[in-house]
Chains A and B, each alone.
Chain A
Amino acid sequence: MTTPDVLFYVFAFLTLLCGFLVIANPFSSNPVTSAMFLVLAIASLAALFALLNAFFLAAIQVLVYAGAVMVLFLFVIMFLDLKAEERRKIRKFGVFGGLVSVGAIVFILLRSLLEFPPEAQSSPTLKGGTAELGALLFGQYLLPFEIVSVLLLVAMVGTVLLSKKELK
């Protein structure tokens, strides 16, 4: 195995482990712990992006998700008083139903993956440089880019409106 392969296994394991600890931490059901493990999961996903030669997306992932989004999450968690939530129990029937349905979905996904393996190039050739991505973004995808900026403005106005003391 070459070094990138070893790195892939390390970061894939870290991503799945941290993802599991986000949803079902055996030691604590505090949302702050979940948020911290989500930061770790997102950081290892950024490492996987870098292994796939998507360096710009790895940087964006760390900046936007691990930076902005998670700060927002932590701020809201600490803003709300969630102490009473820790005592709640998860119901057995919910666990059983959830495991069965998710297991069925995983079975379908993995089986279709194994039965019809995707035809990939054996040696990937895509450079995936930031310059090429930028040229594509400001050339072919210019209109979606502008629309997304309007979407961000709408989201900002909506957030300010929703956060006011009295909803009218």
Chain B
Amino acid sequence: MSVGLEHYLVVSALLFALGLLGVILRRNLLVIYMSLELMLNAGNLALVAFSRYTGNLDGQVLVFFVITVAAAEVSVGLALIVALYRKRQTAHVEDLTLMKL
């Protein structure tokens, strides 16, 4: 059986599930953040596969924007984590239960 669109979509779904599992299970803020990146990449893979198999380049343009916005999001998020660590000396979500700094 030759590789088709379904194969890529299955890989994308499994990668998304792995990222979601990481967000639910891990308690370290940085690892949760990496799992978020995995989920974004799973979405990107599905978009590129759709773009290839439907003969339309719009999906690739959307992936370009997703990568750009993800880079901005990572820089701001990591700055937030560093600021939080300075205040509370922890990067563990179970120690961060107060909304007050």
List residues of A whose CB falls within 8 A of some B CB: 1-2, 4-5, 8-9, 12, 15-16, 19-20, 22-24, 29, 31, 34-35, 38, 41-42, 45, 48-49, 52-54, 56-57, 60-61, 64-65, 68-69, 72-73, 76-77, 79-80, 82, 85, 88, 90, 94-95, 97-99, 101-102, 105-106, 109-110, 113, 117-118, 120-122, 124-126, 128, 132-133, 136-137, 141, 144, 148, 151-152, 154-156, 158-159, 162-163, 165, 167
| CA A80 to CA B82, docked complex, whole Å | 8
Q: Assuming A95-B25, A106-B17, is B67 touching A65 (CB within 8 A)?
A: yes
A76-B30 in contact (CB<8A): yes
- Name which residue of chain B comes closest to A23, CB basis: B22
On whether the beta carbons of B34 and A34 are closer than 8 Å, the reply is yes
Contacting residues, chain B, for A38 (C-beta < 8 A): 34, 37-38
Q: How far is the CA of A65 from the CA of B38 in the complex (A)?
A: 11
Bound-state CA distance A165–B52 (Å) is: 47
Contacting pair B69 A133 (CB below 8 A): no
Q: Is the CB of B5 within 8 A of A118?
A: yes
The 19 sampled A-B contact pairs (Cβ below 8 Å) are: A5-B3, A16-B18, A22-B31, A22-B38, A34-B34, A48-B11, A61-B44, A64-B68, A80-B85, A90-B26, A120-B53, A124-B52, A126-B53, A152-B72, A155-B76, A158-B79, A162-B76, A162-B80, A163-B83
The digit string for B40-53, where 1 denotes a CB below 8 A from any CB of A, is: 01001100111111
A72–B52 touching, CB < 8 Å: no
Name B25's contact: one of A19, A98, A109, A167 (CB within 8 Å). A98
Contacts of B4 in A (CB 8 A): 120, 122
Distance (Å) between the CB of A93 and the closest chain B CB?
11
**Complex Cα–Cα for A73 and B44 (A):** 20
Q: How far is the CB of B35 from chain A (nearest CB, A)?
A: 6
Contact (A52, B25) CB under 8 Å given A82-B91, A105-B17, A152-B68: no
